[in-house]
Structure 1
Amino acid sequence: MTLTPPPPPSADLAGLSDSGLLVRVARQDEAALAELFHRYGGRVLAYVRAMAGPGFPHEDAVQDIFLALWQKAGLFAPEGGEATGWIFTLTRHKVLDRLRSQSRVRERGDLDLASLDAPAPAEDPTLAPSLRKALAALPAEQRTPIRLAYYGDLTYEEAARQLGLPVGTVKTRIRTGLATLRDLFQRREAP
């Protein structure tokens, strides 16, 4: 199936913030949805491709994601966080739901830590290598719980059981590792 974009966005919406657009989408404003698709369609597709890998109906998933965005935009709370984070969290959940329905996610006890060593290639060829390098720079005690939670799709509790550690320890290691990754990428982007 080929991805069919909504009609071109309206020029008067170009100045609105992403949060403002989501608020308008919650009111069933099709032009606001078109503007969000214009801003995020390519990035969402790249994220879906990176997450799901080959053989996955990427474009169908993007259409499902924007349909879900249309239906669930009323759940977005601007004071609760950034619109970008909300959109990509919704994307992640929709992709994981599809993978689960296709029986591609392994049973919890059958998770192979070695399979989590390298993230799937991203649309942007510079992203995956830099993320792989940044993860490799983390101590194993932080890297492994992050991989279990984000690439293995385990909850903190499941990751703690897999590692034989208390849940609080796993949460701390993930939080510390993510803070280190954020610092690495911010330094890299700084002029």
Structure 2
Amino acid sequence: MPSDDADRLGALYDAHAGPIWRYVVHLTGDRSGADDVVQETLLRAWRTPRILADDPETTRSWMYTVARHLVVDDARSARRRREVTTDEPPESAVRDATDSIFDAILIEEALAGLSLAHREVVVRAYYGGLTVAEIAEELTIPEGTVKSRLHYGLRALRLGLQERGVTR
């Protein structure tokens, strides 16, 4: 590997390995498995020159998406499933909740990035099922303020999700 390539690979590692590793550990709780996912993610980025030419934020978002897909693929792989034979079949089938768990984690992280004022309005509206009037009464603020915070809070939430590679 020429010195220039080694320097570029080192810069890629320095810029992105830490955040990607923390993200994977947050998703899986497996510190040693996170090393493998980070290595594969960096390798895929290295093999995709157009990604390296993008700005660092786009590269990081792409890498978060790749890492998430690697984690999901690993969780669904036959290697991870431990089949146990029994005399009787299970009473009912259980749906795989992997995607919904990852989605909940991503939404939680994106909500944490909102300001408190925006987060409390968005959470009350979408998780609490409250109307604009009910939120305004509960928070003792005008309805127009609730509408404004809801609009800008959802906008910031969408941007936070885009940074994590969830939406376009």
Which entry has the higher C-alpha Rg, 1 or 2? 2
With a CA cutoff of 8 Å and minimum separation of 6, indicate the structure with the bigger relative contact order: 2
